Chains A and B, each alone.
Chain A
Amino acid sequence: MKHRESFVELDARERARAVLDEGTFREILGPFDRMESPHLEPQGIVPQSDDGVVVARGKIGGVFAVVISIEGKFQGGGIGEVAGAKIAGALELALKDNENGVSTRPVLLFDTGGVRLQEANYGLLSIAEIQAAIVALRRHVPVVGVIPGKIGSFGGMSITAGLLSALIMTREGRLGLNGPEVIEQEAGIEEFDSADRQLIWNTIGGAQRVATGFADELAADDVTAIAEAIRAVFARGVRETPRSAQVELYRSLLKAVDPAQPLHTEIFREIWQQRQGAGKKASGKAAEPDRGNAPPSRGRTWFQMLTVGCEPIAGDVPSVRCADATLGGERVRYIAVVPDPDSRFPRARQGEVGLEEGWAIAEYIRQAMEADQAGERRAIAAIVDVPSQAYGYREELLGIHLACAAAVDAYATARELGHPVITLVVGHAISGAFLSHGMQANRILALDDEGVHVHVMSKQSAARITRRSVAELEEATKKVPAMAYDIRSFATLGALHELIGGVNADTPGDEDRALVQDKIAEAIKSTRFAPRDLHVRLSSEAASRGGRTASIQVRRMLAEQWR
Chain B
Amino acid sequence: METFTFEFPATKRLQGRAHVGVVGSGDLEILLEPSTEPRTRVVIRTGCTGFQEKWRLVLERFLTANDVAADIQVNDFGATPGVVTLRLAQALEVSQGR
- Within 1-43 of B, Cβ neighbours of A (below 8 Å) are at 1, 17, 19, 22-25, 27, 29, 31, 33
Asked whether A46 lies within 8 Å of B31 as measured between CB atoms, the reply is no
Per-residue CB contact flags for chain A residues 28-51 toward chain B (1 = under 8 Å, else 0) read 001110100000010011111100
Chain A residue nearest to B23 in the complex (CB): A48
Between A and B, 30 residue pairs with Cβ closer than 8 Å are A11-B22, A30-B19, A31-B29, A31-B31, A32-B17, A32-B19, A32-B31, A32-B33, A41-B1, A44-B47, A45-B1, A45-B47, A46-B23, A46-B45, A46-B46, A46-B75, A46-B76, A47-B23, A47-B75, A48-B23, A49-B19, A49-B73, A71-B22, A71-B24, A73-B24, A73-B25, A73-B27, A74-B22, A74-B24, A75-B23
CA distance A46 to B47 in the complex (A): 6
Contacts A49-B29, A49-B73, A73-B24 known; list 12 others, CB within 8 Å: A30-B19, A32-B33, A34-B31, A44-B47, A46-B23, A46-B75, A47-B45, A48-B29, A49-B75, A73-B22, A73-B27, A75-B23
Q: Which residues of chain B are within 8 angstroms of A11 by Cβ–Cβ distance?
A: 22
Interface: B77 (CB within 8 A): yes
CA distance A45 to B33 in the complex (A): 24
Chain B residue nearest to A72 in the complex (CB): B24
- We find that the number of chain A residues with CB closer than 8 angstroms to chain B is 16
Least CB distance from A137 to B in Å reads 29
Q: Which residues of chain A are within 8 angstroms of B23 by Cβ–Cβ distance?
A: 46-48, 74-75
Asked whether B77 lies within 8 Å of A46 as measured between CB atoms, the reply is yes
Q: Which residues of chain B are within 8 angstroms of A30 by Cβ–Cβ distance?
A: 19
Per-residue CB contact flags for chain B residues 41-71 toward chain A (1 = under 8 Å, else 0) read 0000111000000000000000000000000
Which 6 pairs show the lowest CB-CB distances between chains A and B? A73-B24, A48-B23, A44-B1, A31-B19, A73-B22, A46-B45
Least CB distance from B58 to A in Å reads 17
Chain A residue nearest to B19 in the complex (CB): A31
Q: Which residues of chain B are within 8 angstroms of A73 by Cβ–Cβ distance?
A: 22, 24-25, 27
CA distance A34 to B43 in the complex (A): 14
CA distance A34 to B17 in the complex (A): 14
Least CB distance from B78 to A in Å reads 9
Kindly name the residue among A31, A47, A75 whose own CB sees the greatest number of chain B CB atoms within 10 A: A31
Query: Residue B75 contacts which of A32, A44, A48, A71 (CB distance < 8 angstroms)?
Result: A48
Least CB distance from B23 to A in Å reads 4
Chain B residue nearest to A31 in the complex (CB): B19
Q: B residues engaging A (CB < 8 A)? A: 1, 17, 19, 22-25, 27, 29, 31, 33, 45-47, 73, 75-77
CA distance A474 to B23 in the complex (A): 26
Q: Which residues of chain A are within 8 angstroms of B77 by Cβ–Cβ distance?
A: 46
Chain A residue nearest to B26 in the complex (CB): A73
Per-residue CB contact flags for chain A residues 375-399 toward chain B (1 = under 8 Å, else 0) read 0000000000000000000000000
Kindly name the residue among B23, B46, B77 whose own CB sees the greatest number of chain A CB atoms within 10 A: B23
Q: Which residues of chain A are within 8 angstroms of B24 by Cβ–Cβ distance?
A: 71, 73-74
CA distance A74 to B26 in the complex (A): 11
Asked whether B31 lies within 8 Å of A49 as measured between CB atoms, the reply is yes
- Within 75-117 of A, Cβ neighbours of B (below 8 Å) are at 75
Q: Which residues of chain B are within 8 angstroms of A44 by Cβ–Cβ distance?
A: 1, 47
Least CB distance from A438 to B in Å reads 33
CA distance A11 to B33 in the complex (A): 22
Least CB distance from B47 to A in Å reads 5
Chain B residue nearest to A12 in the complex (CB): B22
Q: Which residues of chain A are within 8 angstroms of B73 by Cβ–Cβ distance?
A: 49
Per-residue CB contact flags for chain A residues 46-61 toward chain B (1 = under 8 Å, else 0) read 1111000000000000
Chain B residue nearest to A30 in the complex (CB): B19
Least CB distance from A69 to B in Å reads 12
Q: Which residues of chain B are within 8 angstroms of A34 by Cβ–Cβ distance?
A: 31
CA distance A30 to B18 in the complex (A): 12
Q: Which residues of chain A are within 8 angstroms of B29 by Cβ–Cβ distance?
A: 31, 48-49
Q: Which residues of chain A are within 8 angstroms of B76 by Cβ–Cβ distance?
A: 46
Q: Which residues of chain B are within 8 angstroms of A46 by Cβ–Cβ distance?
A: 1, 23, 45-47, 75-77
- Within 335-355 of A, Cβ neighbours of B (below 8 Å) are at none
Asked whether A48 lies within 8 Å of B19 as measured between CB atoms, the reply is no
Least CB distance from A152 to B in Å reads 16
Least CB distance from B54 to A in Å reads 17
Q: Which residues of chain B are within 8 angstroms of A71 by Cβ–Cβ distance?
A: 22, 24
Chain A residue nearest to B46 in the complex (CB): A46
Least CB distance from B35 to A in Å reads 14
Least CB distance from A47 to B in Å reads 7
CA distance A353 to B94 in the complex (A): 49
CA distance A233 to B86 in the complex (A): 40
CA distance A48 to B22 in the complex (A): 7
Q: Which residues of chain A are within 8 angstroms of B75 by Cβ–Cβ distance?
A: 46-49
CA distance A45 to B23 in the complex (A): 10
Least CB distance from A80 to B in Å reads 13
